[in-house]
Structure 1
Amino acid sequence: MATNTFRFLILGGTGSIGYAFTQELLRHQEQVTLLVRNKQKAAKLFGQWPTLQLIEGDAQDGELLKKLGAEATHIFHGLNYPYDKWQNNMERVTQNVIEAAAINKSTIFFPGNIYNFGLVAAITEETPPKPTTKKGAIRVRLEQMLQQAAQQGKCRVINLRMPDFWGPNVMNEGIAPIFKGALNGKPMPWLYRNDIPHQLVYTPDAAYAYYELAKLQPKESYTEYNYAGEVVPSIKQWQTRIATEAGTEPKHKVYPGWLFKLMGLFSPGMREISEMGYLLQNTILLKDDKLRQTLPNLRHTPMQQAIAETLEWHRGVGELEG
């Protein structure tokens, strides 16, 4: 049952983590407003829920965001842009979110990532930012904006830092082709290296963590937590489990780094991917002791069940598209 006192504004609700968090909230009958660019697409994705309101618009529209923010106790900032559109767009939209949250002194939920730290073996909440890429520097700026706004008393911020996402409706080019490939008996692609341990988080589990943090109402104006998810022995081994669950023979395909460097000469998007190559050539691990102390009953979906749920979701999308 809902708490009845919360009202959530979700930005980026049709994306990876935003979708999972919205589903978690709706299951608990929370009041949820989704700002989406395409209302029809969102309605198809979520279906009918009595506590869900869909509003069509753009988060770059600061006045619209303020109007919606005035009604919210929590704003989920899951907005993202293609890599080559991060510059300016991400800062501008984050400023809009801050101004919207300031009206009601709402809590902003921000999904952090590991770009802030460059190449480091382990990351705790005390690890200082040391970005080595343009996108890492942008992420540091966004977090500084949010922290400053919280310290000025405009809002509260909970920054939950996570590794790579996977799960239902995770449609990025790194993850979705693996599940599509497994279902169709085609090669499951990965970039750079598929033979080293890799940290991943199943989005419904992360969504549960967000909801539990919402119920805690921390005293600090700005709180940061890491969420470690699960470390797979290798992407190749993980892909094999996915293919086995899908009932197909595993076929692996690794795209080498030089290919992205070459393609980056002609494509800004590929150039941006190449810049982030270090994340896939090395094992970088988030440590989440702080979160586990705060939420001792963190949910962890068993890997086989999570794979089955994700495959089932992709089958459903295939049927809709078919």
Structure 2
Amino acid sequence: MKNAVVLGASGGMGYALVMELVSRGFSVTAFARNEKRLKELFGHIKEVMIQPGDASIEMDVKQVCKEKEFIFHSINIPYPEWTNGHPIIMKNVIAAVKEEGANLILADNIYAYGKQSVPVTEEALKNPHTKKGKIRLQLEKMVQEANIPYLVIHFPDYYGPNAENTYIHFTLSQILQNRSSQFVGALNLAREYIYTPDGAKAAVELALTPHAYRQNWNIPGAGTMTGHEFIGIVREATGYRKKVMSVKKGMISFLGIFDKMMRESVEMMYLTEKPVLLSGSKYEREIGTLPRTPYEKGIRAAISAMKKTSN
């Protein structure tokens, strides 16, 4: 039986990776800081071993990665902690990968690409203009220079079951409480989102493909969707009839006066004004058909998961 560890297993993509690996017959270790959350998510699944720990502590990472063939890194931390936190975590992960002779699969976002005007291929020049984009590029270079088998997989914004730290979850949580709700960005702008189970399927397929290593891969969503289209799907699924307000950069900037997280979010608002779209042509040419769950089906699944969690 193949074995893997998912670092950041309690997050949206981490949860999806654990479930996809289990469905493919892997023995999986789920690693995150919050033991209670890990037990809630995976305590009922016999193929999953739960191991809480802190990825900023080298021995915690080395211990959980011991004798693992595949190490999936999907850890995210709050924006204010990125400058120091992410490089330390990556250093620890790389050390564990080297010690075990394992394969590293990094679930990355699109920040390192910076501003782009056409669907982005893996060959696109990365010239990030934001602090967080530069940090993501720094992490990518650390991996590429480490002389290890790696995959760097770029995803757009997440949505899906247990993907809680996302724009879509923010809006859905208000709607399911039948409150007036907010949508981050212009409602008439088409943007791209990845349904986390689709992203996990693509990531595990790449992990099982030997010739895919030491490369970057873009995994796009199921086309684009405007805020109006998203709200329409949600209204049909829930019967919600209240107003949805668009929250734009000016409001986030104002909130940033009082809140550090909002202050750190301002520079990323360019993605809600001129979205970066990914090209999946390399994956489809070299691996196969991309998993593309229609937005209506994926959003209904996310709503269903949120309702179960709240009960």
Equivalent pair of 2:3/2:27 in contact (CA under 8 Å)? yes
CA distance in 1, matches of 2:15, 2:143: 22
Gap regions ≥5 residues in structure 1: none
Identity %: 28
> CA–CA distance in 1 between the matches of 2:112 and 2:197?
24
Q: 1:134-153 maps to which residues of 2 (within 5 A)?
A: 134-149=131-146, 152=147
User: How big is each residue's C-alpha offset from its partner over 1:198-239, in whole Å with a ceiling of 9 and x where there is no partner?
Assistant: 01110001111111112212264x111101112334112112
Aligned length, in residue pairs: 310
Paired with 2:273 and 2:212, the residues of 1 have a C-alpha distance of 39
Residue 61 of structure 1 and its aligned partner are, at CA, apart by 1.6
Aligned residue among 176, 180, 188 for 1:183: 176
Please say if 1:48 is aligned against 2:44.
yes
Asked if the contact 2:73–2:104 (Cα under 8 Å) also holds between the matched residues in 1, the reply is yes
1:185–1:251 Cα contact (<8 Å) kept? no
CA distance in 1, matches of 2:112, 2:32: 28
Match of 2:250 in 1: 258
2:35 is the alignment partner of 1:39:
yes
| Residue number in structure 2 paired with 1:237 | 229
Match of 2:208 among 204, 215, 229: 215
Structure 2 counterparts to residues 35-184 of structure 1, below 5 A: 35-122=31-118, 123-149=120-146, 152=147, 155-184=148-177
Secondary structure of the 1:34 match is strand
Distance in 2 between residues matched to 1:55 and 1:281, nearest whole Å: 40
In 1, are the aligned partners of 2:106 and 2:151 still within 8 Å (CA)?
yes
The one of 256, 269, 284 aligned to 2:276: 284
Is residue 197–residue 231 contact of structure 1 (8 Å, CA) maintained in 2? no
Q: Give CA-to-partner distance per residue, 1:248-272, whole Å, 9 cap, x none.
A: 2263111132122223233321111
Q: Is the 8 A contact 2:70 2:103 kept in 1?
A: yes
* Cα pair 1:24 1:207 within 8 Å, conserved: yes
Aligned match of 1:23 in 16, 19, 22?
Answer: 19
Residue 102 of structure 1, CA deviation: 0.3
Which letter does structure 1 place at the counterpart of 2:215?
A: T
Aligned equivalents of 1:106, 1:31: Cα separation in 2: 15
* Residue type at the aligned position of 2:84: N
Q: Which amino acid aligns with 1:287?
A: S
Structure 2-normalised TM-score? Answer: 0.94
Unaligned runs of 5+ in 2: none
